[in-house]
Structure 1
């Protein structure tokens, strides 16, 4: 398929196939370390995949950071990435990581609606400001929550301080020309309707797009297109590739955490 290589990541990263195992180990260790400050499997809907994990700091939370996992909407789950809550928790923030139904059981539009349903439930668990982020497909989903067509209840829109998509997929049409579309089932109408770069940004929050400088050109292009559409900064994190660009979430004093929570 025309764009298969453009969106391939692991084959261009040294020891790329080892990263999922490393993530899962670090995530399990973090959950164990948080003990009763980890609230696991909280429901946001009635489907089996509609739950989130919430990690609380040792003091009253400053606010809530939401991290949405990637995996091309087809792979992984929040418990592969629990350790990415560590930096926010160290700074006194709570961190929520939602699950969603993976393709091919769900289309991207279905997953986006799940995140719209999840967000108010996660935000209700913690007082204060809300910051949204996500990586790759999760970057797409966090960006979709910032589009003007997403209806948010009550004062939730005013609580969202910032959205920082990390290596986001912001224009979906090229994915129609990849083998993974056998699972995604994107058609032209859905690809356009679910592309954050083609939809108006809801006013009222700060935005900042983050991407690794050593990523595939397609991801650099996707990040720039969202930054242009949203008229917001795009940080190119020098030397970082698609799998280690998220490591800045693990420690409190990193440029990525400052972009999110400063």
Structure 2
């Protein structure tokens, strides 16, 4: 890996998508409207002692079919669960309970510590919701759910036995290029951690099933990251596929999670 390429530009989704600087405020407002719409949302369930070690569960009508999880992105540096409540709707409408965890952001935690937090969050959510488990995450969240299926996972065996599939949407699977970005002033990655935290460089758990989903209008690096993940784990006997979704960009690609009939929800829930 060299610094010859402009890696800042390769990962700069805000510059790539016009008007995207307004999206966090839009998501926060939309999430607040969704939580006030009458859906049952159990908020701020603690899964640890840190201030951001909390998760929400959006409950369906009746007994849940199982637990669906959505882990948010933001380059491990920004955003929190309240921005994303509305993205639970597709799974909730199909009868699943949806857990949305927050986690400590860098630089207050290293990415390796965030990986451990997500394992704890999933364990607590799994204690509250019976049945099969489906994982999803966007961008940095895609990285985090893929890490749950690596052989060094911190998840307990009882939780792993219930996980049927992980959906990494525009996920980051090879973290080494981030060493050459300005973001690393906040991420504080070194080569050892970037390698250890790259799902594409790990062996998957036996029988792991993962879909790498990415928008066709995304930055080339995100398409490479999705293709790399599927190719690497396919060669290690995991069940993988890569889906390049139309002309969607990094932010529009997740909108289909709100639609219970969308192909993205089908990929998530089966």
TM-score bracket, shorter-length normalisation = over 0.9
Does the CA-based 8 Å contact 1:34-1:55 persist in structure 2? no
After TM superposition, list the pairs within 5 Å mapping 1:92-171 onto structure 2.
Answer: 92-171=95-174
Counterpart CA distance in 2 for 1:123 and 1:116 is 11
Counterpart CA distance in 2 for 1:152 and 1:69 is 19
Question: Are 1:31 and 2:35 counterparts?
Answer: yes
Does the CA-based 8 Å contact 2:59-2:97 persist in structure 1? yes
Counterpart CA distance in 2 for 1:40 and 1:103 is 23
Does the CA-based 8 Å contact 1:131-1:160 persist in structure 2? yes
Q: Secondary structure at the match of 1:72?
A: coil
* The one of 38, 57, 60 aligned to 1:57: 60
Counterpart CA distance in 1 for 2:117 and 2:182 is 25
Deviation at 1:154, TM superposition (A): 4.2
Question: Are 1:239 and 2:247 counterparts?
Answer: yes
Which stretch of structure 1 is more off in the superposition, 74-83 or 9-18?
9-18
Q: Secondary structure at the match of 1:155?
A: helix
* The one of 171, 177, 180 aligned to 2:180: 177
Q: Secondary structure at the match of 1:148?
A: coil
Deviation at 1:151, TM superposition (A): 3.4
Counterpart CA distance in 1 for 2:215 and 2:151 is 27
CA deviation profile, 1:88-107 (whole Å, cap 9, x unmatched): 00000000000100011111
TM value normalised by structure 2: 0.94
Counterpart CA distance in 1 for 2:70 and 2:177 is 25
* The one of 4, 13, 19 aligned to 2:17: 13
Question: Are 1:253 and 2:258 counterparts?
Answer: no
Counterpart CA distance in 2 for 1:168 and 1:13 is 17
For 1:214, the equivalent position in structure 2 comes to 217
Does the CA-based 8 Å contact 2:216-2:245 persist in structure 1? yes
Deviation at 1:152, TM superposition (A): 2.5
Counterpart CA distance in 2 for 1:116 and 1:77 is 17
For 2:237, the equivalent position in structure 1 comes to none
Number of aligned residue pairs: 261
Does the CA-based 8 Å contact 2:43-2:55 persist in structure 1? yes
For 1:225, the equivalent position in structure 2 comes to 228
Deviation at 1:205, TM superposition (A): 3.6
Question: Are 1:78 and 2:50 counterparts?
Answer: no
Counterpart CA distance in 2 for 1:13 and 1:39 is 33
Q: Secondary structure at the match of 1:33?
A: coil
Counterpart CA distance in 1 for 2:38 and 2:142 is 26
What is the root-mean-square deviation of aligned Cα atoms in Å?
1.1
For 1:187, the equivalent position in structure 2 comes to 190
Counterpart CA distance in 1 for 2:157 and 2:48 is 19
TM value normalised by structure 1: 0.97
